[in-house]
Amino acid sequence: MPGLTIGDIIPNLEVETTKGKFKIHDFIGENWILLFSHPGDFTPVCTTELGMMAKYSKQFIEKGVKLLGLSCDDLTSHMEWIKDIESNNGGHKVDYPIIGDSKREIIKQLNMVDPDEKDGKGNNMPSRALHIIGPDKKIKLSFLYPATTGRNMDEVLRVVESLQKARKYNNKVATPVNWNPGEKVVIAPSVTDEDARKMFPQGFQTVDLPSNKKYLRYAQV
């Protein structure tokens, strides 16, 4: 994604939301944040997505993650739309704030503008984007989907756990392909075997490779 991207500090914008006005950094505090945009209120894919966010809200909260939605509709529209979302998701409450951005200024500053989709007036639409932001206010991961493809909440939850695992170990571990919570992680090549033994007293596994290089090491954490 061009513009604001991984490693950048999220702008400390003052936003008006369905839960009141606040600055984004104040809302983050010491938490992780999922900041996600949707193309429009009262649209089918977005209705299913925000409903699933509400359903998964407790799981995210348990991991110290707060949710923050965004679209270019106004707050009155959001409040009416929430009734549809909750009606369609088994009654799970939308207890997270949704930013109103009718002037389309915030989506530009947060790099959440769809380069192709436009409304009937020719204005750029919000993309189906999601930033995962750490307690240091930096973007750790970004997803960008086309309007036709809904997000997968299990994948969002999985990558949150991956990012948090890496942060816990100061980026000295990483999660391999198809990793799921509870499975082994790989040890960063920058970590010596001596240091790895201190980090993982229960031991670790080094994979024998044709190159004879000992860079692929697994540990249970």
Which residues does 211 contact at the CB level (< 8 Å), separation at least 6?
none
d(CA 51, CA 45): 10
Q: What phi and psi, each to the nearest 5 degrees, are found at residue 151?
A: -75, 160
pLDDT digits (tens, 9 = 90+) for 185-204: 999 999 999 999 999 999 99
DSSP 10: P
Task: Check residue 1 and give its pLDDT.
Answer: 40
Task: Check residue 115 and give its pLDDT.
Answer: 74
d(CA 32, CA 28): 7
Task: Check residue 116 and give its pLDDT.
Answer: 75
d(CA 221, CA 25): 31
Residue showing tokens 């991984």: 6
Sorted by where each begins, the domain ranges of the chain are 14-151, 169-219
Percent of the chain residues topping a pLDDT of 90: 82
Fold assignment, 169-219: Antioxidant, Horf6; Chain A, domain 2 (3.30.1020)
**How much is the mean pLDDT over the chain?**
94
Query: CA separation (Å) from 153 to 60, 86, 104, 130, 201?
Result: 10, 17, 26, 11, 34
Residues in the chain: 221
Asked, colleague to colleague, whether 14-151 and 169-219 share their fold, the answer is no
The CA R_g of the chain, rounded to the nearest whole Å, is 20
Asked: is 14-151 a CATH 3.40.50.2300 domain? The reply is no
pTM for the model stands at 0.92
pLDDT digits (tens, 9 = 90+) for 171-187: 999 999 999 999 999 99
pLDDT digits (tens, 9 = 90+) for 131-161: 999 999 999 999 998 888 999 999 999 999 9
Catalytic one among 24, 33, 34, 46? 46
Alpha helices in the chain (DSSP H): 24-28, 44-62, 75-88, 106-109, 153-168, 193-199
Task: Check residue 60 and give its pLDDT.
Answer: 97
User: Higher pLDDT residue, 40 or 161?
Assistant: 161
Q: Does residue 168 carry a pLDDT above 60?
A: yes
Q: Is 72 a catalytic residue?
A: no
